[in-house]
């Protein structure tokens, strides 16, 4: 193995993954600088990468260090997800802990902990309690991730305020985040450096896949990764604050989030990897059966289309009692368990474009044409739960003042889910969506919600980092360019390659609220200049491909009524016993099969970018000896995302685990398949 550990290395320490495919080597050199390398199947994938911190009011920490102690342990356990892509999760790693002490001066101590898995690794810093380091004000965390070549990278700019960018596919040396400033369709954006947001995913020349992210982001600021295109160098760049001038403030002892590197020989293995949740603490909430994964409809898409509006003053208010009842009727008739209502509360007259958004939204007072209690009663009678909506307009102080009353109201009304939103620049100005102050705000909301038995689907969120394991009321998030961009973005909406990229990037972080299921693809007569850039069959496939425990049937009921393809939305599961990625290449296509929890039904979703594709699916994952009725909702022969998006066909066959299924996906197309065991 040709590890490029610096020659002057004094002490190398290694940790291997359980199968030995990944090896981390920790080193310290003659100057007491410390770092690590990573090898996969005996090949270096992360070259010598140093670790250090800069502080306010204290010397940097990262040289003159000596290894004062080191220890290892192995863990094998299996835990259960209360809801998720799979029920059982195996957590199997070898851990290496290295205690470092400065040899001179303040004699500060720092511990680095590596956990090495077969699907990658995580490492974090522990700042122990110590006399000469009580309060720690971090101005920079300098964690390097140095690459070994000019990999192909799927990246978005390291925006401190939003993740709603398209992914770019370029060589590492061509990453240029600065060119992504001033996007016309973002209510807030701040890209200070040539950095990328995580997860950022790569493919090496040897065909190896790498994805960089973080796990358990708690009381710390989000990490972007600064790139040096010339040297293939990468280094953590924490989100800052112009108010405080620093990145993170903590008191010892504390842990940083895990810095994670997923490593896979097959692109699909990145999706199957559970590294991010495994690096989080076990469930702290216990029984969360008050939240049930669900499909939902909502008074929502009609606002994005301009058919109605959130505010009442416009004269076309969407959230009326009558409209809500009509949605409940539609949901009840179609096996859809919940309904979201946006624009139900006062304040929307002062939403977009207002500088002073503090004190504007009221999270307990409905508009006069919306009778909250009556709607809830009506929903209960028909088994349709209401999903509450809180648009904070990025005024978290106003929201925090009302948190207890707002969540008490939900608890009293028996509402167990809320969608939150943070559109606009954070007030106070100078704080950013992904900084420590907001990370703590989002956490406070989750914790308050948990006390009141409410699950949170956050939009304009902090990225998921696996907190759902610890707080399983963190159900889904936006944190990507969602379907809504197709309704109004002036840049043509989400291109056909968007979701085949999202599956291997954003989706590695956690569940997504993408809001699929648009049947009126061209959006006429509402938005003549906009459209969805997929076929209708792909919209169905998204229920399986893009994972989330809440899945919206986003279109207006009038476009579903009488439509044969609605049957797939009625049938498809939302909570899974197991998931398998059958094939896929980043940005091109992906096929995922998921088995519904507690039934033996399988569902398959397959999506492609702008290129048509023929795929053969090996069904050997089905139960042996069992025959299944496969209903395939596929693209018609002449379907095309732009020219003929709604041409689909439904075919039925009987299949067993010995069969192979041939799929033809149209440009921008997809296929959605349900597999129902015969006799069940
Ligand atoms: C942005 C969210 O992403 C969108 O779904 C919501 O409708 C608006 N904010 C209003 O809250
Ligand atoms: Ca959004």
| Cβ(509)–Cβ(213) below 8 Å | yes
Report residue 652 as tokens: 């039925």
List residues bridging with 388 in a β-sheet. Answer: 418
- The residue nearest atom 10 of ligand 1, judged by CA position, is 391
Smallest-distance ligand from the CA of 479: 2
CA angle 626, 628, 631 (to 5 degrees): 170
- For the chain, the distance separating the N- and C-terminal CA atoms, rounded to the nearest angstrom, is 54
pLDDT band at residue 11 under the 50/70/90 scheme: low
Smallest-distance ligand from the CA of 457: 1
Q: CB atoms < 10 A from the CB of 101, how many?
A: 18
The torsion angle over the Cα atoms of residues 540, 546, 552 and 553, rounded to 10 degrees, is -10
Smallest-distance ligand from the CA of 185: 2
256-288 pLDDT tens trace: 999 999 999 999 999 999 999 999 999 999 999
159-185 pLDDT tens trace: 999 999 999 999 999 999 999 999 999
Q: Is omega for the bond preceding 319 within 30 degrees of 0, making it cis?
A: no
Q: Looking at residue 679, what is its pLDDT?
A: 84
Distance 459 CA to ligand 1 centre (A): 7
Distance 459 CA to ligand 2 centre (A): 6
Per-position b or e across 27-53, b if 16+ CB within 10 A of its CB: bbbeebbbbbbbbbeeebbbbbbbbbb
> What is the domain partition of the chain in residue ranges?
13-278, 281-479, 509-516+535-680
* Length of the chain (residues): 680
DSSP state of 430: T
Q: Is the pLDDT of residue 3 over 50?
A: no
613-637 pLDDT tens trace: 999 999 999 999 999 999 999 999 9
Which SS3 state, helix, strand or coil, does residue 162 take?
A: coil
Q: Is the dihedral of CA 342, 345, 350, 355 positive or negative?
A: negative
C-alpha span between 279 and 291 (Å, rounded): 23
C-alpha span between 551 and 295 (Å, rounded): 5
User: DSSP of 386-410, one letter per residue?
Assistant: EEEEEE-TT-HHHHHHHHHHHHHHH
Q: Looking at residue 5, what is its pLDDT?
A: 53
186-243 pLDDT tens trace: 999 999 999 999 999 999 999 999 999 999 999 999 999 999 999 999 999 999 999 9
C-alpha span between 555 and 569 (Å, rounded): 12
| Cβ(47)–Cβ(33) below 8 Å | no
Rg (CA), the chain: 25
44-77 pLDDT tens trace: 999 999 999 999 999 999 999 999 999 999 999 9
* Catalytic annotation, pick one of 342, 431, 478, 484: 484
Which SS3 state, helix, strand or coil, does residue 269 take?
A: helix
Q: Are strands 589-596 and 602-608 parallel, antiparallel or unpaired?
A: antiparallel
C-alpha span between 578 and 623 (Å, rounded): 13
Domains 13-278 and 509-516+535-680 fall in the same CATH topology: no
| Cβ(262)–Cβ(508) below 8 Å | yes
C-alpha span between 23 and 41 (Å, rounded): 8
Distance 592 CA to ligand 2 centre (A): 26
CATH superfamily of 509-516+535-680: Aldolase class I (3.20.20.70)
Look up 16 and say whether it is catalytic.
Answer: no
SS (H, E, C) 227-257: EECCCCEEEEEECCCCCCCCCEEEECCEECC
Q: Is the pLDDT of residue 7 over 90?
A: no
Report residue 634 as tokens: 């596929």
C-alpha span between 267 and 505 (Å, rounded): 11
Q: What is the mean pLDDT of residues 442-467?
A: 98
DSSP state of 15: E
| Cβ(309)–Cβ(353) below 8 Å | no
Distance 490 CA to ligand 2 centre (A): 15
* Closest-CA residue to 457 (of 550, 386, 377): 550
Distance 421 CA to ligand 1 centre (A): 6
351-393 pLDDT tens trace: 988 888 999 999 999 999 999 999 999 999 999 999 999 999 9
Q: CB atoms < 10 A from the CB of 71, how many?
A: 10
**Ligand 1: which of 309, 345, 363, 423 to mutate, most ligand atoms within 8 Å of CB?**
423
pLDDT band at residue 1 under the 50/70/90 scheme: very low
568-609 pLDDT tens trace: 999 999 999 999 999 999 999 999 999 999 898 999 999 999
| Cβ(305)–Cβ(342) below 8 Å | no
Which protein residues touch ligand 1 with a CB less than 6 Å away? 300, 342, 391, 421, 423, 459, 478, 482, 484
The answer for residues whose C-beta is within 8 angstroms of residue 518's C-beta and 6 or more apart is 301, 483, 486, 532, 539, 554, 555, 559
Q: Looking at residue 4, what is its pLDDT?
A: 53
C-alpha span between 47 and 301 (Å, rounded): 47
Name the pTM for this structure: 0.98
- Please identify, in words, the CATH class of the domain defined by 281-479: alpha beta
* Closest-CA residue to 547 (of 587, 577, 510): 510
Smallest-distance ligand from the CA of 300: 1
C-alpha span between 659 and 618 (Å, rounded): 7
State the average pLDDT for the chain.
Answer: 97
406-417 pLDDT tens trace: 999 999 999 999
Give 243: exposed, middle or buried? Use CB within 10 Å, 0-12, 13-18, 19+.
middle
The alpha helices in 519-620, defined as continuous H runs, are 536-545, 557-560, 566-571
Report residue 660 as tokens: 């192979």
Distance 52 CA to ligand 2 centre (A): 35
**Ligand 1: which of 302, 310, 391, 420 to mutate, most ligand atoms within 8 Å of CB?**
391
Q: Which atom of ligand 1 is nearest to the CA of 515?
A: 5
- The residue nearest atom 6 of ligand 1, judged by CA position, is 421
**Helix (H) or strand (E) run with residue 123 in it:** strand 120-127
Helical pair 372-381 and 396-413, crossing angle rounded to 10 deg: 50
- Please identify, in words, the CATH class of the domain defined by 13-278: mainly beta
C-alpha span between 463 and 122 (Å, rounded): 17
**Ligand 1: which of 357, 459, 483, 550 to mutate, most ligand atoms within 8 Å of CB?**
459
Report residue 46 as tokens: 């992360």
| Cβ(157)–Cβ(186) below 8 Å | no
């Amino acid at each position: 193995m040709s590890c490029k550990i610096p020659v002057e290395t004094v002490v190398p320490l290694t940790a291997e993954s359980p199968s030995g495919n990944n090896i981390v080597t920790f080193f310290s050199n003659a100057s007491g600088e410390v770092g690590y390398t990573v090898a996969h199947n005996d090949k270096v994938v992360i070259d010598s990468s140093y670790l250090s911190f800069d502080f306010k009011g204290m010397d940097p920490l990262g040289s003159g260090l000596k290894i004062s102690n080191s220890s290892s342990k192995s863990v094998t356990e299996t835990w259960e997800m209360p809801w998720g892509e799979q029920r059982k999760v195996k957590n199997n790693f070898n851990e290496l802990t290295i205690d470092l002490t400065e040899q001179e001066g303040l004699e500060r101590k720092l511990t680095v902990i590596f956990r090495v898995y077969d699907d990658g690794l995580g490492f974090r810093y522990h700042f122990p309690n110590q006399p000469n380091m009580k309060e720690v004000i971090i101005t920079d965390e300098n964690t390097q991730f140095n690459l070994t070549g000019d990999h192909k990278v799927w990246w978005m700019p390291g925006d401190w305020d939003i993740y709603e960018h398209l992914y770019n596919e370029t060589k590492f040396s061509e990453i240029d985040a600065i060119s992504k400033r001033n996007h016309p369709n973002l209510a807030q954006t701040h890209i200070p450096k040539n950095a990328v947001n995580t997860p950022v995913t790569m493919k090496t020349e040897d065909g190896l896949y790498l994805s960089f992210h973080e796990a358990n982001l708690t009381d710390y600021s989000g990490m972007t990764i600064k790139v040096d295109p010339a040297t293939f160098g990468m280094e953590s760049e924490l989100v800052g604050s112009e108010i405080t001038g620093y990145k993170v403030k903590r008191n010892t002892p504390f842990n940083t989030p895990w810095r994670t590197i997923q490593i896979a020989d097959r692109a699909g293995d990145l999706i199957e990897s559970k590294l991010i949740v495994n690096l989080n603490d076990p469930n702290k909430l216990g029984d969360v059966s008050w939240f049930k994964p669900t499909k939902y409809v909502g008074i929502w898409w009609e606002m994005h289309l301009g058919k109605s509006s959130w505010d009442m003053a416009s004269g076309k208010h969407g959230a009326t009692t009558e409209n809500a009842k009509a949605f409940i009727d539609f949901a009840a008739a179609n096996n859809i368990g919940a309904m979201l209502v946006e624009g139900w509360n006062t304040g929307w007259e002062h939403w977009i474009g207002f500088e002073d958004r503090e004190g504007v939204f009221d999270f307990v007072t409905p508009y006069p044409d919306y009778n909250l209690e009556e709607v809830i009663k009506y929903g209960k009678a028909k088994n349709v739960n209401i999903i509450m909506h809180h648009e904070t307009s990025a005024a978290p102080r106003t929201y925090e003042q009302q948190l207890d009353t707002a969540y008490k109201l939900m608890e009293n009304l028996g509402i167990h889910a809320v969608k939150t939103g943070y559109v606009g620049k954070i007030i106070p100005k100078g704080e950013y969506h992904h900084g420590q102050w907001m990370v703590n705000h989002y956490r406070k909301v989750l914790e308050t919600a948990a006390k009141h038995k409410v699950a949170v689907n956050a939009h304009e969120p902090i990225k998921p980092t696996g907190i759902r394991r610890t707080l399983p009321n963190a159900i889904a998030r936006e944190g990507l360019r969602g379907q809504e961009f197709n309704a109004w973005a002036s840049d043509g909406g989400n291109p056909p390659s968007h979701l085949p990229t999202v599956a291997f990037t954003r989706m590695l972080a956690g569940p997504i609220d993408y809001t699929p299921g648009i049947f009126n693809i061209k959006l006429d007569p509402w938005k003549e200049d906009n459209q969805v850039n997929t076929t209708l069959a792909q919209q169905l496939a998204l229920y399986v491909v893009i994972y989330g425990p809440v899945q919206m049937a986003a279109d207006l009921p009038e476009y579903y009524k009488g439509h044969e393809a609605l049957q797939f939305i009625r049938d498809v599961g939302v909570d899974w016993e197991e998931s398998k990625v059958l094939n896929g290449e980043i940005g091109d296509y992906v096929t995922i099969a998921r088995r519904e929890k507690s039934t033996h039904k399988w569902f398959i979703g397959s999506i492609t970018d702008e290129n048509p594709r023929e795929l053969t699916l090996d069904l050997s994952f089905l139960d042996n000896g069992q025959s299944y009725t496969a209903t395939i909702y596929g693209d018609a022969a002449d379907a095309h995302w732009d020219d003929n998006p709604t041409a689909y066909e439904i075919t039925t066959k009987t299949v067993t685990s010995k069969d192979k299924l041939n799929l033809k996906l149209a440009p921008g197309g997809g296929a959605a398949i349900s597999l129902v065991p015969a006799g069940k």
